[in-house]
Amino acid sequence: MATFLTSTAGLKFTVRRLPAVLVVPAAPTPREMNRLSDIDDQDGLRFRVPIVQLYRRNASCDGLDPAAVIRDAVARALVHYYPLAGRLRKLDGRKLAVDCTAEGVPFVEADADDVRLEDFGDGDSIHPPLPCLEELFFDVPAATSSIANSPLVHIQVTRLACGGFILAVQMSHTVADGHPAVAELARGAVAPTVRPVWARDLLLARNPPRPSFAHREYDELPLDDPIALPADELVQGSVFFGPQDVAAIKARLAPGLRERSTTFDVLTAFLWKCRTMALQLRDTDDEVRLGFAVSACHGKRGLCLPRGYYGNTIALPVAISTAGELCVNPVGYAVELVRKAKAEVDVEYIQSVADLMVLRGRPNFANARLYMVSDLTKIGFAGLDYGWGQPVYGGVATMGLSPIPWMSSFLIPCKNAKGESGIVVPLCLPRRAMDRFTEEVGKLKMRYSSL
């Protein structure tokens, strides 16, 4: 159960970059100021999401330059997604808007003459942490740096010695929750199958704002965090869960809960428990939190947004427990907390978040003793085909998307070295805590395997 994967962090290489160029829309676009929604511009989403996609050589594409193909597709996509060619501006009340200037997207093409795709991992088992990100991303600003007045998207295409290539994209999370339709245009489509829709006014705060939930995810907590450590004291790792692992954890749940719980429910609860045990907090009465993104577009109580809406539609509820209760209770205890937090999210919950943003000046998430898990298994990065087939790996490039790398993990579709499909979860912990985490996972493995 839960195999720990080897890392390629020791791989070192350098790339040769051409100067960055600005890719502008391939046709004239509207010049306007588009306000973001009050879900888009909350403080906790004001960062750039680094995404990498690694592609094999495709003999049918020999003679084609992936950088040129993607650059042309970006220019045509920006006609439809023209706000992405603009710049963010700050308005009164910390409100953000996109100034649709058509200035363009910085684009760099590069070559890595000394590295091949297989150097990143065996077969389809490539996973974070990926090495030498500073070579794959030509501009990697600090997560805390201002996103105002800077490009919304940065792109680098790096050609590899084997004929494959790496596409690295940084996108402002405030503007888009996902990937623009560049891939289908690169394959020859004249226009995106689904036309993009802005419509951010549909998720603005009410007048007057009237939050209707407690929203513990935005609690005002003390800034000191007993598990905060300098980055140089942290180690990175990845753990792989196959279908049998998930089934073994589910088998230990109470009847009824077992049938109602999703793979996400089970894995996030399992990880939260093991991680908390590994951290060995001194005060067992300390509150620990598990945060996760829930889209409010699904289910009977989901948002009714137009097809093609590409803004943020997520809430970030939290499950809360004392460290002691989480550690001594079975995994089912944590699963129940996850399910309860998820169940709150509906149309009213999202509206309540938008209202709270305006009333409280767009607060950040309460980070103290928080573990944030994001489900990327259905987001689509792993299936984007630019003409070279699906990527060997497509997803986040790094362990954390904030200045606090130990705070977050991702559920990413992946295959192990044996070719088995499953979910890989990267995480970052202090070295001793990582050793204990491995031990705790092993203990639960023995317990569950004995069924």
Convert the pLDDT of each residue in 349-375 to its tens digit.
999 999 999 999 999 888 888 999 988
Whether residue 332 has pLDDT greater than 80: yes
Spatial neighbors of 271 by CB under 8 A, at least 6 apart, are 371, 373, 409, 425, 427
Residues 156 and 225 in one domain: no
Angle at 410 between CA 329 and CA 379, to 5 degrees: 125
Q: Which amino acid is at 164?
A: G
Whether residue 198 has pLDDT greater than 80: yes
Residues 243 and 315 in one domain: yes
Residue 22 lies in a domain: yes
- Please give the pLDDT value at position 7: 56
Residues 184 and 279 in one domain: no
**Of 200, 225, 255, which residue is a domain's last?**
200
Which position has the higher pLDDT, 176 or 23?
Answer: 23
Share of the chain above pLDDT 90, in %: 53
Which position has the higher pLDDT, 9 or 187?
Answer: 187
Residue 36 lies in a domain: yes
Share of the chain above pLDDT 70, in %: 87
Residues 252 and 171 in one domain: no
Section 112-124 average pLDDT: 84
Residue 81's CATH number:
3.30.559.10
Residue 211 lies in a domain: no
- Please give the pLDDT value at position 445: 61
Residue 209 lies in a domain: no
Is residue 220 a contact partner of residue 364, using CB atoms and an 8 Å limit?
A: no
- Please give the pLDDT value at position 143: 45
Which position has the higher pLDDT, 235 or 451?
Answer: 235
- Please give the pLDDT value at position 6: 53
**Of 168, 200, 232, which residue is a domain's last?**
200
Residues 158 and 246 in one domain: no
Residues 118 and 174 in one domain: yes
Distance CA 213, CA 207 (A): 17
Instruction: Compute φ and ψ for 77, nearest 5 degrees.
Output: -65, -35
Residues 185 and 144 in one domain: yes
Residue 210 lies in a domain: no
pLDDT confidence bin for 161, thresholds 50/70/90: very high
- Please give the pLDDT value at position 146: 66
Which position has the higher pLDDT, 224 or 107?
Answer: 107
- Please give the pLDDT value at position 145: 53
Residues 228 and 177 in one domain: no
Whether residue 69 has pLDDT greater than 90: yes
pLDDT confidence bin for 277, thresholds 50/70/90: very high
Residues 178 and 292 in one domain: no
pTM of the model: 0.89
Residues 227 and 185 in one domain: no
Average pLDDT, the chain: 87
Tell me how many domains the chain contains: 2
Which sequence positions are flagged as catalytic? 173, 385
Residues 160 and 242 in one domain: no
User: pLDDT by residue (tens digit) across 404-448?
Assistant: 556 788 898 887 777 788 898 888 888 888 889 888 887 766 666
- Please give the pLDDT value at position 178: 62
Whether residue 286 has pLDDT greater than 70: yes
Q: Which amino acid is at 37?
A: S
Residues 40 and 137 in one domain: yes
Count of beta carbons in the 10 Å neighbourhood of residue 362: 20
- Please give the pLDDT value at position 232: 58
List the domain range (segments joined by +) for residue 357.
216-447
User: pLDDT by residue (tens digit) across 126-140?
Assistant: 777 788 888 999 875
Section 91-108 average pLDDT: 95
- Please give the pLDDT value at position 197: 94
Residue 394 lies in a domain: yes
Residue 377 lies in a domain: yes
Residue 375 lies in a domain: yes
**Of 200, 226, 259, which residue is a domain's last?**
200
